[in-house]
Amino acid sequence: MYISFPLSFMAFLHFFFGLLLSSLGTDAAVFTLQNRCEKTIWPGIQPSGGRPVLMEGGLELRHQESISVTTPTGWSGRFWARSGCTFNANGEGTCETGDCGSGLYCRGAGGVPPASLAEFTLDSPLDFYDVSLVDGYNMPISISPYDDAGQCQSVVCDVNLNQNCPSDLQVKGNDDETVACKSGCTAYHTPEYCCTGQFQNPNTCKPTNYSQYFKSGCPQSYSYAFDDASSTFTCPEANYLISFC
Protein backbone atom coordinates (compact mmCIF):
# COMPACT_ATOMS: atom_id res chain seq x y z
CA MET A 1 0.00 0.00 0.00
CA TYR A 2 1.43 3.35 -1.04
CA ILE A 3 0.75 6.37 1.17
CA SER A 4 1.46 9.88 -0.05
CA PHE A 5 2.65 12.42 2.54
CA PRO A 6 2.50 16.20 2.12
CA LEU A 7 5.79 17.78 1.09
CA SER A 8 6.03 19.62 4.40
CA PHE A 9 5.81 16.31 6.31
CA MET A 10 8.55 14.76 4.13
CA ALA A 11 10.72 17.79 4.77
CA PHE A 12 10.13 17.29 8.49
CA LEU A 13 11.22 13.63 8.22
CA HIS A 14 14.42 14.59 6.41
CA PHE A 15 15.11 17.19 9.09
CA PHE A 16 14.38 14.74 11.92
CA PHE A 17 16.53 11.92 10.56
CA GLY A 18 19.27 14.40 9.74
CA LEU A 19 19.36 15.43 13.39
CA LEU A 20 19.29 11.78 14.47
CA LEU A 21 22.22 10.82 12.25
CA SER A 22 24.09 13.90 13.37
CA SER A 23 23.64 12.95 17.01
CA LEU A 24 24.76 9.36 16.37
CA GLY A 25 27.75 10.40 14.31
CA THR A 26 28.89 8.99 10.99
CA ASP A 27 31.81 6.81 10.02
CA ALA A 28 34.99 8.72 9.18
CA ALA A 29 37.31 6.03 7.83
CA VAL A 30 37.98 2.31 7.65
CA PHE A 31 41.42 1.14 8.79
CA THR A 32 42.56 -2.22 7.44
CA LEU A 33 45.32 -3.77 9.55
CA GLN A 34 47.44 -6.28 7.66
CA ASN A 35 50.10 -8.64 9.02
CA ARG A 36 52.85 -9.22 6.47
CA CYS A 37 55.24 -10.51 9.14
CA GLU A 38 56.33 -14.14 9.25
CA LYS A 39 54.98 -14.49 12.78
CA THR A 40 51.80 -13.57 14.61
CA ILE A 41 51.59 -9.99 15.87
CA TRP A 42 49.19 -8.27 18.26
CA PRO A 43 48.22 -4.76 17.07
CA GLY A 44 47.35 -2.19 19.71
CA ILE A 45 45.05 0.81 19.24
CA GLN A 46 45.18 3.87 21.49
CA PRO A 47 42.71 6.73 21.02
CA SER A 48 43.50 10.35 21.84
CA GLY A 49 41.84 11.76 24.95
CA GLY A 50 38.07 11.72 24.74
CA ARG A 51 37.93 9.50 21.66
CA PRO A 52 36.42 6.00 21.76
CA VAL A 53 38.51 2.86 22.18
CA LEU A 54 38.31 0.63 19.10
CA MET A 55 38.38 -3.20 19.20
CA GLU A 56 38.94 -2.98 22.98
CA GLY A 57 42.38 -1.58 22.12
CA GLY A 58 44.00 -4.83 21.03
CA LEU A 59 43.75 -7.91 18.81
CA GLU A 60 45.68 -10.81 17.34
CA LEU A 61 46.72 -11.01 13.68
CA ARG A 62 48.30 -14.14 12.25
CA HIS A 63 50.62 -14.25 9.24
CA GLN A 64 48.89 -12.75 6.15
CA GLU A 65 45.72 -12.05 8.14
CA SER A 66 43.86 -8.72 7.84
CA ILE A 67 41.07 -7.06 9.79
CA SER A 68 39.09 -3.86 9.19
CA VAL A 69 38.28 -1.32 11.90
CA THR A 70 35.72 1.46 11.37
CA THR A 71 36.28 4.78 13.10
CA PRO A 72 33.75 7.50 13.93
CA THR A 73 34.00 11.03 12.59
CA GLY A 74 36.69 13.10 14.27
CA TRP A 75 38.59 10.10 15.65
CA SER A 76 42.30 10.43 16.41
CA GLY A 77 44.82 8.03 17.83
CA ARG A 78 47.61 5.61 17.04
CA PHE A 79 48.17 2.03 15.93
CA TRP A 80 51.21 -0.14 16.62
CA ALA A 81 52.08 -3.84 16.68
CA ARG A 82 53.23 -5.90 19.62
CA SER A 83 55.56 -8.86 19.14
CA GLY A 84 56.62 -11.88 21.15
CA CYS A 85 53.38 -11.97 23.13
CA THR A 86 52.12 -14.77 25.33
CA PHE A 87 48.48 -14.57 26.48
CA ASN A 88 46.34 -17.10 28.31
CA ALA A 89 42.69 -17.89 27.59
CA ASN A 90 41.63 -14.80 29.55
CA GLY A 91 43.87 -12.48 27.50
CA GLU A 92 46.34 -12.08 30.36
CA GLY A 93 50.04 -11.93 29.50
CA THR A 94 52.89 -9.80 28.24
CA CYS A 95 54.81 -8.96 25.06
CA GLU A 96 58.50 -8.52 24.23
CA THR A 97 57.82 -5.26 22.36
CA GLY A 98 54.99 -2.71 22.44
CA ASP A 99 53.44 -4.17 25.60
CA CYS A 100 50.57 -2.05 26.97
CA GLY A 101 50.54 -3.52 30.45
CA SER A 102 46.97 -4.82 30.42
CA GLY A 103 47.15 -8.02 28.40
CA LEU A 104 45.65 -8.60 24.97
CA TYR A 105 43.13 -5.76 25.26
CA CYS A 106 44.91 -2.45 25.86
CA ARG A 107 41.61 -0.63 26.52
CA GLY A 108 43.07 2.83 25.89
CA ALA A 109 46.59 2.25 27.20
CA GLY A 110 49.58 2.90 24.97
CA GLY A 111 52.50 0.63 24.19
CA VAL A 112 55.82 0.77 26.01
CA PRO A 113 58.50 2.25 23.70
CA PRO A 114 60.18 1.42 21.48
CA ALA A 115 57.38 0.73 18.99
CA SER A 116 56.75 1.87 15.42
CA LEU A 117 53.59 4.01 15.34
CA ALA A 118 50.96 4.94 12.75
CA GLU A 119 49.28 8.14 13.96
CA PHE A 120 46.06 9.75 12.70
CA THR A 121 43.90 12.81 13.25
CA LEU A 122 40.78 12.61 11.08
CA ASP A 123 38.51 15.40 9.79
CA SER A 124 40.48 18.43 11.00
CA PRO A 125 39.21 19.29 8.39
CA LEU A 126 41.68 17.10 6.45
CA ASP A 127 43.00 13.77 7.68
CA PHE A 128 46.52 14.12 9.11
CA TYR A 129 48.70 11.01 9.36
CA ASP A 130 52.29 9.99 9.95
CA VAL A 131 54.63 7.13 10.82
CA SER A 132 56.47 7.99 14.03
CA LEU A 133 59.78 6.54 15.21
CA VAL A 134 60.27 9.33 17.77
CA ASP A 135 60.12 6.79 20.61
CA GLY A 136 61.90 4.08 18.64
CA TYR A 137 61.14 1.18 16.31
CA ASN A 138 60.14 -2.45 16.64
CA MET A 139 59.04 -3.50 13.13
CA PRO A 140 58.35 -2.16 9.63
CA ILE A 141 55.09 -0.22 9.30
CA SER A 142 53.45 1.55 6.36
CA ILE A 143 50.29 3.60 5.71
CA SER A 144 48.59 3.37 2.30
CA PRO A 145 45.48 5.50 1.66
CA TYR A 146 42.84 3.96 -0.61
CA ASP A 147 39.43 5.07 -1.94
CA ASP A 148 41.14 8.46 -2.23
CA ALA A 149 40.98 9.00 -6.02
CA GLY A 150 44.76 8.53 -6.09
CA GLN A 151 45.48 11.92 -4.55
CA CYS A 152 46.98 10.90 -1.18
CA GLN A 153 50.51 9.73 -0.47
CA SER A 154 51.61 6.47 1.08
CA VAL A 155 54.06 6.55 3.98
CA VAL A 156 56.44 3.61 3.83
CA CYS A 157 58.87 2.38 6.47
CA ASP A 158 59.66 -1.14 5.24
CA VAL A 159 63.31 -1.41 6.35
CA ASN A 160 64.44 -3.67 9.20
CA LEU A 161 66.03 -1.05 11.45
CA ASN A 162 66.71 -3.63 14.14
CA GLN A 163 69.39 -5.20 11.98
CA ASN A 164 71.95 -2.37 12.28
CA CYS A 165 70.59 -0.66 15.38
CA PRO A 166 73.37 1.06 17.39
CA SER A 167 74.43 -1.24 20.22
CA ASP A 168 73.38 1.18 22.97
CA LEU A 169 69.85 1.41 21.53
CA GLN A 170 69.21 -2.31 21.08
CA VAL A 171 66.44 -4.16 22.90
CA LYS A 172 67.13 -7.89 23.15
CA GLY A 173 64.50 -10.61 23.10
CA ASN A 174 64.46 -13.93 24.93
CA ASP A 175 66.76 -15.51 22.34
CA ASP A 176 69.21 -12.56 22.48
CA GLU A 177 67.99 -11.32 19.09
CA THR A 178 67.49 -7.56 18.66
CA VAL A 179 63.70 -7.15 18.70
CA ALA A 180 63.50 -3.34 18.89
CA CYS A 181 65.60 -0.20 18.57
CA LYS A 182 65.25 2.63 21.07
CA SER A 183 65.36 6.30 20.13
CA GLY A 184 67.99 8.50 21.75
CA CYS A 185 65.27 9.97 23.97
CA THR A 186 63.99 6.56 25.08
CA ALA A 187 67.53 5.39 25.81
CA TYR A 188 68.94 8.45 27.60
CA HIS A 189 66.01 10.74 28.56
CA THR A 190 68.09 13.90 28.06
CA PRO A 191 66.68 17.29 26.91
CA GLU A 192 68.89 17.22 23.81
CA TYR A 193 67.42 13.92 22.59
CA CYS A 194 63.88 14.51 23.89
CA CYS A 195 63.50 18.15 22.76
CA THR A 196 62.64 19.30 26.27
CA GLY A 197 63.88 22.11 28.51
CA GLN A 198 66.14 24.51 26.60
CA PHE A 199 65.75 22.28 23.52
CA GLN A 200 61.96 22.61 23.44
CA ASN A 201 61.77 24.44 20.09
CA PRO A 202 62.84 23.71 16.51
CA ASN A 203 65.68 26.24 16.63
CA THR A 204 67.53 24.44 19.40
CA CYS A 205 66.41 20.82 18.95
CA LYS A 206 68.15 19.46 15.87
CA PRO A 207 68.62 15.97 14.39
CA THR A 208 71.12 13.80 16.27
CA ASN A 209 73.18 10.82 15.14
CA TYR A 210 70.50 8.60 16.63
CA SER A 211 67.54 10.28 14.91
CA GLN A 212 69.46 10.35 11.64
CA TYR A 213 69.80 6.56 11.81
CA PHE A 214 66.01 6.26 11.74
CA LYS A 215 65.64 8.98 9.11
CA SER A 216 68.15 7.38 6.76
CA GLY A 217 66.25 4.09 6.84
CA CYS A 218 62.74 5.55 6.74
CA PRO A 219 62.94 9.07 5.20
CA GLN A 220 59.16 9.67 5.43
CA SER A 221 58.93 8.93 9.14
CA TYR A 222 59.12 11.20 12.17
CA SER A 223 62.60 10.71 13.59
CA TYR A 224 62.52 13.38 16.34
CA ALA A 225 59.99 15.80 17.79
CA PHE A 226 60.40 18.65 15.26
CA ASP A 227 60.60 16.54 12.12
CA ASP A 228 57.24 17.86 10.85
CA ALA A 229 58.18 19.23 7.44
CA SER A 230 59.00 15.90 5.80
CA SER A 231 56.88 13.62 7.95
CA THR A 232 53.28 14.89 8.24
CA PHE A 233 50.86 14.01 5.44
CA THR A 234 47.29 15.07 4.70
CA CYS A 235 44.38 13.64 2.77
CA PRO A 236 40.91 15.16 2.14
CA GLU A 237 39.13 11.82 2.65
CA ALA A 238 40.21 8.19 2.44
CA ASN A 239 40.35 4.76 4.02
CA TYR A 240 43.73 3.47 5.14
CA LEU A 241 45.71 0.24 4.91
CA ILE A 242 48.22 -0.15 7.76
CA SER A 243 50.75 -2.85 6.92
CA PHE A 244 53.11 -4.39 9.44
CA CYS A 245 56.36 -5.82 7.98
- Chain center to CA of 89: 26
Q: How far apart are CA 98 and CA 79, in angstroms?
A: 11
Q: With contact defined as beta carbons under 8 Å apart, do 222 and 229 qualify?
A: no
48-73 pLDDT tens trace: 999 999 999 999 999 999 999 999 99
Structural domains in the chain, CATH included, are 27-244 (2.60.110.10)
pLDDT in tens, 169-193: 999 998 889 999 999 999 999 999 9
CA angle (12, 18, 20) in 5-degree steps: 105
Looking at residue 228, its pLDDT comes to 83
